[in-house]
Chain A
Amino acid sequence: MCLAIPSRIVEINNGVAVIDVEGIRREASLLLLEDPKVGDYVIVHAGFAIHTIDEADARETLKLLREALEQES
C-alpha cells in the first residue's frame, strides 16, 4: 500500500505533476500539497503527492545520526 520511494517532480501542469522514479515517469495530483515546485522530492500515495522532503533537513538528520553512531561504537 505505501510506496516508500520518493519521486522527483519534473514538470507541473494544472495541478498535476509529472514525477520521475528511476527513469519511470507518471502523473501525480498536487491537490494535497502546499507549494509544490519542479525539482522537489515528494512522497506519493495512490496517485497523490502527500509530502515534500526538505533536503537540508534530511541531510542534517542523517549527518547527526552518523555522528551519533560513530561516537557510540
Chain B
Amino acid sequence: MKHVEEYRDPEMARRISSRIREINRRAVRIMEVCGTHTMSIFRYGIRSLLPDSISLISGPGCPVCVTAQREIDVCIEICRMKDVTVATFGDLMRVPGTESSLQKERANGRDVRVVYSTFDAMDLARKNPDRRVVFLGVGFETTAPTVAASILTARNEGVVNYLVFSAHKLVPPALETLLGSEGLAIDGLILPGHVSVIIGEKPYEPLVEKYRTPCAIAGFEPVDILRAIHSLTARIEQGTAGLDNCYPRAVSFGGNHKAQDAMDAVFEKRNTQWRGLGIIPMSGLGIKEEFSSFDAETFFSLSLPQPKEPAGCSCGEILTGRKIPPECPLYSKVCTPTAPVGPCMVSSEGTCAAYFRYS
C-alpha cells in the first residue's frame, strides 16, 4: 500500500522510539485528541515503544462520544416522525438516548438506514419522493464539508425531500475550553490528522500562543504518531511552545479551501453543548437561514423531555482526560461493547471501546 507501508516501517519506529528515550527526562502527559489516534495507539502497541514516564491520555475527539444527550434524543425523535427515513453513519446506531436508541427504533419498525456517505442519503431521497430523508450530521470539520456539499447539491438538483439534522462540532473551540480548564495536567497535544486536512495549521496557532502548550499534527500510522510524540517530547523538555506539522503529506498551512468554502456557504457557528465539556461558545455548526428548507430542526417541531445521561457513566471525565476507563464504576462490569451504557463504549473509536478491546 503506497503512502502507508513506509510509515509502518519497524526499523524507523524503533529509531524514533530510541530518540524519544534519549531526550525524555521528566514525567510527560500527552493527550491524543482524536479517537482514530486512540485506536492506532492501541493497535500498533505505541505505548510499549515509549518510556514509562510518558503517558498518553485520550481526548474529546470521537464525534459520537461528544454528541450531547439532547442531540441523540432529537435523532430518535426524528426517526419516529411520519413518512420519515433517517440516514446515518453506523456508529450512531447503538448510542443510548434518554430512553431508546436508533437501533431499538429500527427493531420497532422505524426506517433507519446506515449509509456510507451523504450522497447515499441523497440517493434515498431521490428514490423515495414520498418520504422525507433526514441525514444525521454528526462529526467534526472533516465530515461537515461533505454534508455541506450534499445540501448544495440538493439545492442545485431540486431534491426537496432531503433534510439534515446538523449536530456538527468544531475542534479548536473544544481545545480552547480543554486547555483553559482547571486541573488539566496536559503537557502536549497530538492534534487530529483529518480535521487538520480541512482546517490546516492556521486555526491552532492562537491556541499555542495563548496557552503555551506544544502541539503536533499527526497522521495515523505508527511512524506518524511516534514522530509527533518525539517532537512534543523535545518541546516539553526544552520548555518551548509551538506547533509542529508531523503529517505534511496531508496537511497544509491553509487546509482545504474548497471544503472550507462549502462549509462557510451552508453553516454558521453557534453555541453548542458537548458531552463532558458543557456549552462551548461558537463550537457548533447550524444551517444558515438561506438553507432552512433543508434544516430538519426547522422543519419538524420537536418537543423533547429533559435529556438524562446514564447514571454512573464517566464518559464526561474520560473525554476530558480526567479519568481512564478502568476508573469508571461501570466499565467492563455493566458497560461492555455488546451492552454499552455510554457512547465511549459504543463507538469503535471511543476510548472505553479501545481499552476494552486491547487491554
Binding site for B on A (CB under 8 A): 1-2, 4-6, 8, 21-22, 29, 31-34, 41, 43, 45-48, 50-51, 53-54, 57-58, 61-62, 65-66, 69-70, 72-73
Contacts and interface: CB of A to CB of B under 8 A. Distances in A.
Given A4-B36, A50-B259, A69-B15, A32 B149 contact: yes
Given A1-B36, A1-B62, A1-B349, A50 B249 contact: no
B145 A48 contact: yes
B133 to A, nearest CB: 16
A69 B12 contact: yes
Interface of B: 1-4, 6, 12, 15-16, 18-19, 34-36, 40, 62-63, 89, 91, 116-120, 139, 142-143, 145-146, 149, 153, 192-194, 197-198, 219-221, 223, 227, 248-250, 256-259, 262, 349
Contact of B4 (A6, A47, A62): A6
Contacts of B192: 2
A4 B120 CA distance: 21
Nearest to B249: A58
Contact of A34 (B4, B149, B258): B258
B248 A61 contact: yes
B146 A32 contact: yes
Contacts of B16: 69
B18 A73 contact: yes
A46 B249 contact: no
Contacts of A22: 1
6 residue pairs, one from A and one from B, having the closest CB atoms: A47-B117, A4-B220, A2-B36, A58-B249, A69-B15, A6-B3
Nearest to B198: A50
